[in-house]
Amino acid sequence: MANHNNKGWRRVVRAFGYSMKGLKDCFEFEEAFRQEVFLLIPLIPLGLWLGETPVERAMLIGSLLIVPIVELLNSAIEANVDRVGLEKHELSGRAKDIASAAVFSSIAFCLVIWILILVPKVL
C-alpha cells in the first residue's frame, strides 16, 4: 500500500525501487518482454549508427523504446485481470485483447518509423 509518510528523496528512492522490481518481475515472468529487451540490444546501436541527424536517432531509438513500455503496461493489465479471476469472462478477454492490440500498435509504429527513415536512404 502507499505510504503517505514518504516525502522528498525517500519517496523518490522507494519509487525507484518499486520500478526496478517491476522491471525485474516483468523480465522474469513475461517472455514477450524478454524478447523485446534482447532485440533492443543490437537495435539501439544500429539506430544510433543509421540515424544521420539527432532527430533521426531520437526517432529510431524512441520508437524502439515505446515497445517495451507498452509491453509493461500490457503485462500489468494481464496480471490484474488474472488476479481478479482465471475463469473466462468476456470483459477479461476484451481487456487482454485491447492491451495486446496496444503492443501490436507500438510495434507497427516502430516499423513505420524505421521504414520512413531508412528506405529513402536505400532508394
Instruction: Pick the catalytic residue from 71, 78, 87, 90.
Output: 71
Q: Say what the pLDDT of residue 87 is.
A: 86
Which amino acid makes up residue 115?
I
Q: Which three cell numbers stand for residue 2?
A: 502507499
56 belongs to the catalytic site? no
Q: What is the DSSP string of 28-86?
A: HH-HHHHHHHHHHHHHHHHHHHH-SSHHHHHHHHHHHHHHHHHHHHHHHHHHHHHHH-S
Pairwise CA distance, residues 52 & 54, whole Å:
7
Domain boundaries, the chain: 31-122
Q: Say what the pLDDT of residue 3 is.
A: 60
| Nearest alpha-carbon partner for 63 in 25, 112, 20 | 112
Pairwise CA distance, residues 33 & 53, whole Å:
29
Q: Which three cell numbers stand for residue 92?
A: 477479461
Provide φ and ψ at 5, rounded to 5°: -80, -15
Q: Categorize the per-residue pLDDT at 2 as very low, low, confident or very high, splitting at 50, 70 and 90.
A: low
| Nearest alpha-carbon partner for 39 in 59, 5, 65, 73 | 65
Provide CATH code, domain 31-122. Answer: 1.10.287.3610
Stretch 4-20: mean pLDDT, rounded? 91
Instruction: Answer yes or no: is pLDDT of 4 > 80.
Output: no
